[in-house]
Copies of this chain bind each other. A is one copy, B any other.
């Protein structure tokens, strides 16, 4: 299996595969006489594992850590749980801030409708007002 085949098999671009190899996330594969990389099913599994973690938005460093844990089977699973918990916390934090953001943007959007010279554009008025420290439809008073 050459790198391009692995790429189409997993949906990961060849550059990304080589990038993972450079980082040490993927083991260096054996080479053909012409220097081409050769991969087997184990490589494919490993790459799928990495991608699965990335789908969960796990940083590559955390995936590295996961591989470390995998290579020390005697340790108990708390470290793995913690990794997931940290990840979940990150996602939830981001989720909340994005929800606030979406609300703000919708309010902002509503303050500007129809055609008009943009001196009168509600959006710009809001942004200007907010820049001067005033409360605005999309931010409001920040509770200290």
Residues of A that sit less than 8 Å from B by CB: 45-46, 48-49, 52-53, 55-57, 66, 69-70, 73-81, 84-85, 87-88, 91-92, 94-95, 98-99, 101-102, 104-106, 108-109, 112-113, 115-121, 123-124, 127-128, 130-133, 138-139
CB-based contact B80/A112 at 8 Å? yes
Residue of B nearest to A106 (CB): B88
Secondary structure call for the A interface: helix
Complex CA–CA separation, A123 to B65 (angstroms): 14
CB-based contact A124/B70 at 8 Å? yes
CB-based contact B130/A105 at 8 Å? no
CB-based contact A139/B101 at 8 Å? no
CB-based contact A105/B117 at 8 Å? no
Complex CA–CA separation, A92 to B99 (angstroms): 8
Copies of this chain, tallied across the complex:
2
Q: List 9 A-B contacts (CB under 8 A).
A: A45-B128, A52-B139, A56-B101, A56-B138, A80-B112, A80-B118, A81-B113, A85-B109, A88-B106
Residue of B nearest to A50 (CB): B131
Q: How far is the CB of A72 from chain B (nearest CB, A)?
A: 8
CB-based contact A118/B87 at 8 Å? no
Q: How far is the CB of A88 from chain B (nearest CB, A)?
A: 4
Q: Which 6 A-B pairs have the closest CB atoms?
A: A49-B131, A77-B121, A77-B118, A48-B131, A88-B105, A52-B130
